Amino acid sequence: MRLALTGLGLLLLGALAMVTGLLPPTDALQLGERVLPVLVFAAAITVVAELAADAGVFTAVAGVLARVSRGRTLVLWLCVAALSILSTAFLSIDTTAVLLTPVVVLLARHAGLRPLPFALTTVWLANTASLWLPVSNLSNLLAAPKLSPSGAGGFLSLLWAPALVASVVPVLLLFLFFRRELSGRFRPEQTASPSDRVLFWSSAATTVVLLPLLTTGLEPWIPTTAAAAVLLIVFAIRRRRSLSWRLFPGSLILFVCGLFLVVSAAHSLGLGRLLGGLGHGTDLPALLAMAGSGALGSNLVNNLPAYLALEPAAGTPVSLAALLIGVNAGPLVTPWASLATLLWHSRLQALNVRVSWRGYLTLGLVVTPLTVLAATSALWLFAAQ
C-alpha cells in the first residue's frame, strides 16, 4: 500500500510537470517508448515467478539443495548462494528477494538453523548479483541498449568480470561474518511432493525453456510474456483459484512510472548539466567516482532514481557500466536503497524473522565499499584498458 501511494504521488508530480510544460510532451512520449518494454518485462517475469512458486518449483529446488548438501551446513549455504545468483541473473532481483527468500528461510528452519545468514545471502546477492544480464535488474534493461545493442552477449562481455567479483565478494564476507553458524551438520527433512504434478512440471518446463531465451538477441519482454501466457493458461485449467489481480505488480509499475516522470522533469530543470562532468574518463579514479556516486545516491534515495539521475552523465559505455556497479551492487546500507530490500524485509516480517536495521546498516557499511571497489577495479582491468 505504501509503495502504491508513493507511486501515485510521484505520478501526480510527473503529470503536473507535463501540464505546466516543465516536461515537454515529446520528452514524455520518448520516455514512454523507452520504458514500456521494461515495464512489460517486469510485469511478465513477476507473473512467471509467482506462478512457478505457487506450483512448488522453488520449494522443490530447495529440497534438492538440502539433499545434495548431505547434512553439511556450509554446503547447504553455498548451494543457497549459488541458487540466489542464478535466480537473480535470470529471473531478476525482485524474484530472489521476494520469492526465494521465504523458501530459503523455511529451508533453514526445517534444518534447525538460524535463518538470518540465509536471508542476508538472498538480499545481498539479489542486489550484487544483478550485474550478469540485462534482465537481472530494471536499471540493466534501461542501460542495455546503450551498452550493447547486440543483446545479452555484448552486455555480458563488458560486465562479466564486475558481475563475478560482485557475486563472490559478498559471499566471502558473509562466510567471515557467520562462519561459526555455517559450520557443523544438520538433519535434512523429507520435502513433500507437489500437490499437482502436471502443474509442477508444466511450470518447471516453462521456466527452464525461458531462461536461455533471456540470453538471446530477443527483447526480454517477448519470451517472458509468452511464458507468462503459457502459465496463465495452465493455471486457468488446473488451479484457477491462484489467478487474481494480485499477480500483477501494479504498485511496482505505478512507482516506476511516477519515478521516471519525476526524474525526467528534474533533468529538464538542469540536473543533467549539474552532473555533466562526472562521467568523463575511463581511468580508475573516474570509474570509481561514477560507481561511488551511484552507490551513494542509491543509499540516499533509491537505486532507480540514482541511475536515472546519473545516466546522462555517463559519457562512455564503460562509465555507464561503472554506474550500474554503483546502483546494483551498492544499495546494501539503507533499507530504502533498493525496492527489493524493502520487499525482502516485508516477507521476513510475515515469516516472523526479525532483522535489526542497525545491524544491517553496520554490515552494509563493510560490504558495500569493498564490493563496489573490487567490482569497479575489475571493470577497469578487463574492460577499460
For the chain, the 3-state helix, strand and coil shares in percent, each to the nearest 5, are 75, 0, 25
pLDDT in tens, 290-339: 999 899 988 987 888 888 888 888 878 899 999 999 999 999 999 888 88
Distance CA 210, CA 134 (A): 14
Res 1: pLDDT = 58
Burial readout 230-244 (b: 16 or more C-beta within 10 A, e: otherwise): bbbebbeeebeebee
C-alpha cell at 359: 545491524
Range of lowest pLDDT (3-12, 256-265, 272-281): 272-281
| Radius of gyration of the chain measured on its C-alpha atoms | 20
Contact 320, 311 (CB under 8 A): yes
Range of lowest pLDDT (46-50, 75-79, 127-131, 162-166): 46-50
Phi, psi of 74 (to 5 degrees): -60, -40
The mean pLDDT value for 228-237 works out to 93
Domain positions in the chain: 2-186+199-382
> pTM to 2 decimals?
0.83
Q: What one-character DSSP code corresponds to residue 353?
A: -
Residue given cell 505520478 in the structure block = 11
Phi-psi region of 283 (alpha: psi -120 to 50; beta: other; left: phi over 0): beta
